[in-house]
A and B are shown apart, each in its own frame.
Chain A
């Protein structure tokens, strides 16, 4: 079994250090800011100085998932990686007037900086992986975490993060075409086979890429495979999609904004909802055309 223990998010909603997040969600506007805690209370001074926003929010939420034993696996999903430092280094090399370049932005531009910073901070020597399959990066990371537990590990940190930079706005209406605001967010949680207090667990996850299949059919097959009667679902969280199920549906993009890690925050919202009452929740991620991620959460 894949039980969710601690979970933490920083987003444009009030999500950090709250036991319950699903009731206080507000529909985001273009002006909704990223709501960050006082990083100086959590991160060491060097991290405060050097780390970009995506690294700060990832490390902070990861720290909130730490328990008494060491993680035996750290899995991070990120669709676009450390965009701010990537852009900074692109500008550095284009504007350089001398032959000497500062390496800091380059060092922190690689996707695995997120997992690397977490392992450095925790002095953790375990499996450390970074998956980057666009908007499916979170689902793939979750699947990897579950696979690690099946292989005999017991205490896994899984998370996803993506950040916005102004450049992304320039792509809107041409390459991206979204009415939702671009956001930054990080969600990390602790996955174990040991039962948690609330008993909320991941029943199954599905990743389907480069697919022209009918999503509603895939959803029905997925539920059937998991012996889950569609009428028994508590809620379906989706990324702005027509879903034929009669269950109560919530478009999570209203609350997450446009972000490749959006389904990770939807996952946290689902966990929060289930912490209130027993039931099952389906998260449907079809943010990018032809790519589908499904997660079934139960309690």
Chain B
């Protein structure tokens, strides 16, 4: 059974929709910059330059929610814009998030510490509530909803679970992806881990020194063939392989040889029945931390036996959007396939000494991009890889 992709939507620091994101990718415009926020201090972040109220008004949102939910609503609505709900098509929503409504909760806790707080605000906190709020905005009722929280692999795992539930005849159509807002909680969390670079992140560069955080949301719509016959949706790609494995090395670090990453890439390749040389482009996890990029490079060399295809990390544009990254990057994979382009890895100058891998450096057009491998590796040792293929 094939899993068709029939819609996509994205919001990030490089654009409020698919087209804006594409133009920024094409023009090498990064969304990462210093802000005047007191929270992020002298650190550059990939933030979306509108408040929750502005976003709600711009996108005419009817449902209230945390910033995580608002970003999710915007991207999920774009993904689902050419679709209609129907009692004939069992439609679900699976969304990844790592912080849920933390942007509201952290302010609530400030008031709580002062001894006076509005408990109502906490109702947006649970990650599962962000998904309910997105579902309400989409008009989804009496359906399967789920939230996956496996840190930075959340959206990739949501995509996987959606495909599996279609294959197992639980759903006909499902909106899958992820959303995460920038919060003081995650900012300070990553700061405490000391994995920020004060400069622009440089994935796969020998001088890389950490990541820049970002925010955003990305969703795609998966459908079975039977569902497409009813919905008349136009497929834009096929989800041809997926795998999730566990590194089981350390709570926050990846194993030096990228054991879990090797397992997830090989698993996805095996499922898609593709040979390594059939992969046209890899959208790497590429957070730009010394640990991830070394480990992922080793894993790429192991899986592709030295012949690593064109690869890049688009986190050099968006920053690391955590649980949303797999959703945002799935949209970019679809753009690469449908527009025949390869996206560059910004800020690269010098290959990692040990691995000598050189990422895609320029924006290339008129390429034949048939199969894209997209990696998402989460803190906690969750390694997930998906493969998106062209229709023919």
Contact = CB atoms under 8 A, between A and B. Distances in A.
B131 A109 contact: no
Contacts of A132: 100, 126-128, 147-149
Contact of B149 (A110, A167, A213): A110
A120 B126 contact: no
Contacts of A108: 251
A101 B113 CA distance: 19
A127 B100 CA distance: 23
Contacts of A106: 185, 188-189, 192-193
Interface stretch (A1-9, A29-37, A111-119): A111-119
Interface string B259-274: 1100100000000000
A174 B148 contact: no
A209 B145 contact: yes
Chain A CB count within 10 A is highest, among B100, B128, B144, B151, for: B128
B145 A112 contact: no
Contacts of B14: none
A102 interface: yes
B211 interface: no
Interface stretch (A144-152, A222-230, A244-252, A262-270): A144-152
A210 interface: yes
Contacts of B112: 167, 170
Given A91-B113, A106-B193, A150 B168 contact: yes
B148 A210 contact: no
A243 interface: no
Given A91-B113, A101-B191, A79 B126 contact: yes
Interface size class on chain A is 35 or more
Contact of A120 (B132, B251, B259): B251
B304 interface: no
Interface in B96-153: 98, 100, 105-106, 109-110, 112-113, 119-120, 122-123, 126-129, 131-132, 135-136, 140-151
A112 B151 contact: yes
A102 B161 CA distance: 34
B149 A111 contact: yes
Interface stretch (B68-76, B241-249, B358-366): B241-249
Nearest to A111: B149
A79 B146 CA distance: 11
Contact of A112 (B164, B165, B189, B382): B382
A124 B145 contact: no
A110 B148 CA distance: 12
B381 interface: yes
A82 to B, nearest CB: 11
Nearest to A146: B168
Contact of A127 (B144, B244, B251): B244
A211 B381 contact: no
Contact of A89 (B157, B189, B248, B251): B189
A156 to B, nearest CB: 14
B378 interface: yes
A171 interface: yes
Contact of B248 (A79, A103, A123, A150): A123
B119 A174 contact: yes
Contact of B127 (A103, A111, A123): A111
A140 B128 CA distance: 12
B123 A133 contact: no
Interface string B154-167: 00010001001101
Contacts of B140: 210
Given A79-B128, A134-B128, A174-B120, A128 B246 contact: yes
B152 to A, nearest CB: 10
Given A119-B246, A132-B147, A150-B168, A80 B106 contact: no
A39 B265 CA distance: 37
Contacts of A89: 185, 188-189
Interface in B229-288: 244-252, 259-260, 263
B199 interface: no
A125 B147 contact: no
A131 B190 CA distance: 23
A129 B98 contact: no
Contacts of B250: 120
A132 B244 CA distance: 18
A74 B248 CA distance: 12
A133 B142 CA distance: 15
Contacts of A90: 105-106, 109, 185
A140 B251 contact: no
Contacts of B192: 100-103, 106
Given A112-B150, A130-B150, A211-B141, 13 more contacts: A81-B127, A92-B188, A96-B188, A119-B248, A125-B248, A132-B100, A134-B128, A144-B161, A147-B165, A175-B122, A209-B144, A209-B145, A210-B145
- Which 7 pairs across A and B sit closest by C-beta, in order of nearness? A116-B380, A106-B189, A103-B192, A101-B192, A111-B149, A209-B145, A134-B128
Interface of A: 74, 79-81, 87, 89-94, 96, 100-103, 106-113, 115-117, 119-120, 122-134, 136-137, 140, 143-144, 147, 150-151, 167, 170-171, 174-175, 207-213
